[in-house]
């Protein structure tokens, strides 16, 4: 699970879909369902899984009680009222991925969005110098043997709050070198079905640090840019809608929000919210449903934001309970959002 910190505000949503595997992405924000359905036949995913129209919509589901990860995901789908197109999950170290159950679910029309922290006790600098090559190569062999469908891979999400000083092995430059090495090693091992995403927190606290730009691995290594934003009472208020959450900022400095930063610095890269979530607003029982109602109009103003993946969790650290069904009204708002024709079908 991702680290959700009060100051680490902005960030990410995966891809969800409610139609059969053979269906296509739908249309732009504000288009009617009938018109969207008519145009959907010409929509497609390109080589880096960017939809030619519409937005990919999905989720991570946190297991509750004795649930397995698979059970949590299927529970979320039932509550949502339709099949999620994209399954988001997390792996680390020497774990092989995708797991058998992830493969099984992705065989039913879903795409995978997987996070991997490959260090297994090594520093970023050590991974960059080959310390993890043995199990990176093992993962490459596993993918060649077991999974050929294209999927999204995030290499060590949210590195900002782990940055250390010179010689620590955890500088921003060490991170970028690690990211490049892992991707190069997978490619050298014959892996050709991965779409790579660089996943920032997107928080102004870190984005204004002098080392922030050193995190970037390089244009040829990054297919998508990801962020992980939340809106909760502990994160500076909940006065705005979806667009405010994605572009949260304060003051008059150069940082004007995560999406704005990505669009200004990398205008040709598609953007995703690998995680996003909203907690209830105290004293405002209808607020969360209203917030879900602001998503589609906001997407129309952020044309490079092509994938949103919700983080369904009752205990997201600083984010609190961000499950979409924390009340009957929020559940209704969530189901209405999921049914909008903008989302990839």
* Residue 108 within any structural domain of the chain: yes
For residue 40, the model assigns a pLDDT of 47
Domain that holds residue 144: 33-338
Q: Residue 247: phi, psi to the nearest 5?
A: -110, 30
CB 86 within 8 A of CB 17: yes
Domain membership of residue 77 (yes or no) is yes
Contact 29, 342 (CB under 8 A): yes
pLDDT of 146 reads: 97
72-94 residue pLDDT tens = 999 999 999 988 889 999 999 99
4 located within any domain: no
Q: What is the CA radius of gyration of the chain?
A: 19
Average pLDDT, the chain: 88
| Domain membership flag for residue 6 | no
Q: Could you tell me if 150 and 113 are in contact, meaning their C-beta atoms sit under 8 angstroms apart?
A: no
**CATH label of the domain that carries residue 248:** 3.20.20.80
Domain presence at residue 138: yes
Tell me what pLDDT residue 317 has.
55
Whether 16 is covered by a domain: the verdict is: no
What is the domain count for the chain? 1
- 297 neighbors 337 (Cβ within 8 angstroms): no
Tell me, yes or no, whether 97 lies in a domain. yes
Q: pLDDT, tens digit, for every residue of 231-270? A: 988 876 678 899 999 999 998 888 999 999 999 999 999 9
In a domain, 334, yes or no: yes
Range with lowest mean pLDDT among 47-61, 227-241, 281-295, 323-337: 227-241
């Amino acid at each position: 699970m991702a680290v959700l910190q009060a100051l680490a505000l902005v960030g990410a949503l995966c891809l969800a879909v409610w139609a059969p595997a053979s269906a296509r992405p739908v249309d732009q924000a504000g288009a009617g369902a009938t018109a969207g359905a008519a145009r959907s036949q010409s929509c497609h995913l390109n080589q880096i899984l960017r939809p030619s129209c519409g937005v990919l919509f999905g989720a991570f589901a946190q297991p509750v009680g004795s649930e397995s990860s698979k059970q949590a995901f299927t529970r979320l789908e039932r509550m949502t009222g339709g099949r999620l197109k994209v399954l988001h999950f997390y792996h680390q170290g020497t774990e092989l991925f995708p797991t058998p159950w992830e493969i099984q679910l992705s065989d039913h029309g879903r795409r995978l969005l997987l996070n991997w922290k490959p260090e297994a006790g090594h520093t970023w600098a050590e991974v960059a110098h080959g310390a993890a090559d043995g199990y990176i190569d093992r993962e490459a062999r596993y993918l060649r043997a077991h999974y050929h469908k294209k999927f999204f891979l995030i290499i060590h999400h949210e590195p900002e709050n782990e940055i250390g000083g010179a010689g620590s092995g955890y500088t921003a430059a060490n991170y970028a070198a690690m990211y490049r090495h892992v991707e190069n090693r997978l490619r050298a091992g014959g892996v050709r079905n991965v779409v790579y995403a660089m996943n920032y927190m997107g928080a102004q606290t870190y984005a204004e640090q002098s080392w922030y730009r050193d995190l970037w691995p390089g244009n040829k290594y990054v297919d998508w840019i990801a962020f992980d934003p939340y809106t909760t009472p502990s994160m500076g208020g909940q006065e705005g809608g979806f667009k405010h959450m994605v572009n949260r900022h304060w003051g008059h400095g150069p940082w004007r929000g995560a999406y704005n930063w990505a669009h200004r610095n990398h205008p040709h890269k598609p953007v995703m919210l690998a995680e996003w979530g909203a907690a209830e607003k105290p004293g405002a029982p209808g607020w969360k449903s209203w917030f879900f109602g602001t998503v589609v109009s906001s997407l129309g103003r952020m044309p490079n934001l092509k994938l949103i993946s919700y983080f369904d969790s009752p205990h997201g650290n600083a984010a609190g309970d961000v499950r979409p069904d924390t009340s009957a009204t929020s559940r209704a708002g969530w189901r209405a959002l999921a049914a909008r024709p903008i989302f990839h079908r």
